[in-house]
């Protein structure tokens, strides 16, 4: 972790807050820790998606209509 953690107000829906508090208690973690973990995972998924997009930059695009036609022609629809 770089530097001092930043304080931030997050407004959670009551049922999500309750679930987080229960999970925190069951896993001996803090609610903040669970939120940090979830955000970290989400950002890591975004990074993976961006890498995949970069790897496929040179590929030709297929329209939705063409894909449906291909699926139908191949007996997949």
Q: What dihedral do alpha carbons 73, 74, 76, 77 form, nearest 10°?
A: 10
CA 71 and chain centroid, separation:
28
The structure's pTM equals 0.68
Measured between alpha carbons, how far apart are the two ends of the chain, in Å?
49
- Determine contact, residues 23/15, Cβ cutoff 8 Å: no
Question: Model confidence over 18-74: pLDDT tens digits?
Answer: 999 999 999 999 999 999 999 999 999 999 999 998 999 888 899 999 999 999 999
């Amino acid at each position: 972790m770089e530097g001092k953690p930043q304080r931030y107000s997050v407004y959670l829906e009551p049922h999500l807050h309750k679930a987080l508090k229960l999970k925190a208690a069951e896993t001996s973690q803090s609610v903040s820790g669970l939120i940090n973990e979830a955000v970290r995972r989400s950002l890591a998924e975004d990074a993976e998606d961006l890498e995949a997009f970069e790897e496929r930059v040179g590929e030709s695009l297929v329209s939705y209509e063409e894909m449906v036609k291909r699926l139908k022609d191949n007996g997949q629809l």
